[in-house]
Structure 1
Amino acid sequence: MVDAGGGTRGVSASALKLTVGARTLVSFPRRLVRVAWSLEQVLAGTRPALPLLAQADDGYLVTSVPHTVQLEADGLRFVRQRYTRYYVNLAGGREAWLTALSGQARSGLKRKAKKLAAANGGMLDVRGYRFPEEMAAFHPLARAVSKTTYQERLLGSGLPEDADALIAASRADQARAWLLFLGDAPIAYLWCGADGDTLRYDYVGHDPAHQALSPGSVLMAAALDDLFADRFRWFDFTEGEGQHKRGLASGGVACRDELLLRATIANRAAVMAVGGFDAAMVVAKRWSEAPALKRFAQHVRRA
C-alpha cells in the first residue's frame, strides 16, 4: 500500500476477474502498487503522487479517486468499482450528527440498542480500549470474535493475529478500539487506526450467531458517541458501500477504484476480456429483467 504523501508500504498481488455474483470464472493475476487516497485528500481533491514502478510491477491500483478527478498517467485504465466514500464529521458535534440523520435511522438505532440491552439484562455493555495495556487485553477477546466472522473466513480480512502493530499504534495515540459484550462474552469488535485528524474504520466484525441483535450497528453507534468527545475531526468509513455506512454517515464523496496498467499485450488482452464480459453481463441482466423473459424463465423452472 502507498499512502499519499508517504512511501511505499508494499506491493499487493491483485487480479482482474470474470465474476458472476460471488463466483469467479477466470482470474488474471497482476502485481500492483496500491495507492490509497486519504479521506482528507478525497475531500480536498489533492492528488497523491504515484511512486515509480519496479520492473516486475504491472501497474497501480489507485483507490478512492473522486469521480471529478482525472488521473494523469500513461498506460491502460480500468475502473474496478464505483462507490461513495462515507464519513462522519466529528467536529460538528453529536447533536448536529443526529439531527442530520434520517428519522428512520435515528429510530432504528434506538430500537436496536434497546433490543440488545434487553437481551443483556437491561444494560448495554460496550467497553473502549485506547492505551497499550488496554489494547493488549482487547486483542485476544477481539480475535475470538474475528474467528467467527465472514470477514476472516471468506475475505481474509479479520483482525491480525499479531497484536504488536495494534499495541504500537495505541502507544503513539493512533488507535481506538471497542468491544460489545453479551453476558461475559464479546460478540462484536471494532478497531480503528488514526491518520492525522481522521480515525479509520479498519477492522470490524461480529459473531454471526447474534446477527438478530444487530451487534455491529449497536457497537458502531456507541463508538461514535465516544468519538464526539475525542480529538478527531473525521471518522472515515473507507472504501466500499454498505447500508450501515450510508445510514450513519454525515456525508460522502462519489469515488472509484482505478487500475493503471502498463500497456503490454497481456494487460490489453486482460482488460478487453474483463471489460467485454462485464458489458455482456449488464446486457444479460437487463434482458433477464424484461417482463416477457421473466415469465418465460418462470415457465421453464415449473416445467
Structure 2
Amino acid sequence: MTVVALKFQIGARTVAAVRRRLVRVALSLDEVLAGQVPMLPETDGDGYLITSLPASLAAAVERGGRVATVRQRYTRFYTDLGIGHAAWLAGLSGSARSTLKRKTRKIEAAGLEIHAYRTAAEFAAFYPLARAVSATTYQERLLDAGLPEDPAAVAHLSALAAADGLRAWLLLIGGVPAAYLCCTAQGSALRYDHVGHDPAWGELSPGTVLHAAAMRDLFDDRFARFDFTEGEGQHKRQFATDGVPCVDLLLLRPTLANRTTLAALAGFDGAMAWAKRAARHPRVAALAKRVRR
C-alpha cells in the first residue's frame, strides 16, 4: 500500500490532487492478454487503483461495497515480435515507412550512431549518457517519467541487466547523445519504460528513428511482445500490431470524503473530455487558431 495522488489534470499540468492510501494493482501485458479478473489483496487503506484492467472485465471485479469510478480509458498497445521484422515493417502505412526512411537519412547525413546495451557493464556505460539526455526531456520536466536518478532504482536496473532483463539503446548525432530508450522485461514482454530525446534535436525526430532501430533488434531477441504499457499516442498506434481496450479503475471505501472525491474527479474528468471534443470542432479550432495569432 502506498499514498497515491489522485490528480486533477489539464493535459500534463496538475491543478490539484487528493491523496489516498491505496493498493495499486498494475496488470502486466501477460495478465491483460490472459483475460482473468485480478484478485485484490486485503487492505486497511482507502481502497485500490487497478491499472490496465481490460474494459470487458471492469464489471466483474469484486468491489466489496466500495464505490468505483473509471479514471481513464485507453488501448494497451503491443507489438507481436513473433511476426518478424519484415512483416512488421510491411504492416506500417506507406506514408509511415516513407517518413521513417526520410528521417533516418536526415540523421545519417548529420552523423548517425546507434548503440545497444544489455549487460550490467554495458548499462553502466549507457546510464550517464542517457541520464544527461533525460534531464532535457519533457518526460522528466512535466511527467516525472525520466530515467531515474535514485540510487536504489539505478541499482535495480543494473540488477535487471545482469539477469538479462534489460535492453537499452542510445542514438548519437555527430557523436552527441540525442535520444535514449531503456526497457525492462516483464514476463514474456519487454516494456516501453524510459524514453526521451533532447529537444535541441527535435526537428530530426531522433526518438522515432531510435525506436525503429530498436524494433529491428527485438525481432531477433527472446521476447514474445513489445509492451507499450499504459496510455496512448500516435507513436504507439503506429508501431503496434495490436491492442486491448483497458481502463484504470479506482475503488474507494464508501466514506463521505471518498464519495465527494470520486464525484469531484468524475465531474472534472467529464469536463475535460467535453473540452477535448469541443476543441476538435472546426469552428472552435479556427477560433483558437485566430486567438493564437
Give the distance between the partners of 2:63 and 2:282, measured in 1 at CA.
Answer: 44
Give the distance between the partners of 1:73 and 1:140, measured in 2 at CA.
Answer: 45
Give the distance between the partners of 2:280 and 2:122, measured in 1 at CA.
Answer: 53
SS at match of 2:75: strand
* Structure 1 residue 78: Cα displacement: 1.2
Gaps of 5+ in 1: 1-9
**2:30 aligned with 1:46, yes or no?**
no
Return structure 1 stretches of 4+ with deviation > 3 angstroms: 19-26, 277-295
Query: Which position in structure 2 is the counterpart of 1:156?
Result: 144
Give the distance between the partners of 2:284 and 2:98, measured in 1 at CA.
Answer: 40
1:119-171 Cα deviation digits (max 9, x unpaired): 21xxx311000111111111111111111111112222111123311111011
Percent of pairs identical after alignment?
Answer: 55
1:241-284 Cα deviation digits (max 9, x unpaired): 11111111111111111111111110001111222333345556
With normalisation by structure 2, the TM-score equals: 0.89
Residue of 77, 97, 112 corresponding to 1:86: 77
Query: Which position in structure 2 is the counterpart of 1:109?
Result: 100
With normalisation by structure 1, the TM-score equals: 0.86
**2:133 aligned with 1:128, yes or no?**
no
Query: Which position in structure 2 is the counterpart of 1:72?
Result: 62
Query: Which position in structure 2 is the counterpart of 1:28?
Result: 18
Gaps of 5+ in 2: none
Give the distance between the partners of 1:15 and 1:51, measured in 2 at CA.
Answer: 20
SS at match of 2:57: coil
Query: Which position in structure 2 is the counterpart of 1:201?
Result: 192
Aligned positions, number: 285
Query: Which position in structure 1 is the counterpart of 2:2?
Result: 11
**2:206 aligned with 1:215, yes or no?**
yes
The residue identity in structure 2 corresponding to 1:144 is A
More displaced, 102-111 or 223-232?
A: 102-111
The residue identity in structure 2 corresponding to 1:250 is T
Give the distance between the partners of 2:18 and 2:272, measured in 1 at CA.
Answer: 18
SS at match of 2:265: helix
Larger-gyration structure (1/2): 1
* More helix by percentage: 2
SS at match of 1:160: coil
- Would the alpha carbon gap of residues 261 and 183 (structure 1) be closer, same or farther in structure 2, given more than 3 Å must change? same
Confirm or deny: 8 A CA contact 1:105 1:248 kept in the other structure: no
**2:264 aligned with 1:277, yes or no?**
no
- Would the alpha carbon gap of residues 235 and 285 (structure 1) be closer, same or farther in structure 2, given more than 3 Å must change? closer
Give the distance between the partners of 2:195 and 2:280, measured in 1 at CA.
Answer: 35
* Structure 1 residue 232: Cα displacement: 0.7
Give the distance between the partners of 1:246 and 1:60, measured in 2 at CA.
Answer: 29
Residue of 90, 102, 105 corresponding to 1:99: 90
RMSD: 2.4
Give the distance between the partners of 1:173 and 1:291, measured in 2 at CA.
Answer: 50
Confirm or deny: 8 A CA contact 2:72 2:248 kept in the other structure: yes
Give the distance between the partners of 1:235 and 1:287, measured in 2 at CA.
Answer: 34
Query: Which position in structure 2 is the counterpart of 1:253?
Result: 244
Give the distance between the partners of 1:206 and 1:44, measured in 2 at CA.
Answer: 34
Confirm or deny: 8 A CA contact 1:78 1:271 kept in the other structure: yes
1:38-59 Cα deviation digits (max 9, x unpaired): 1112122123321111x3x211
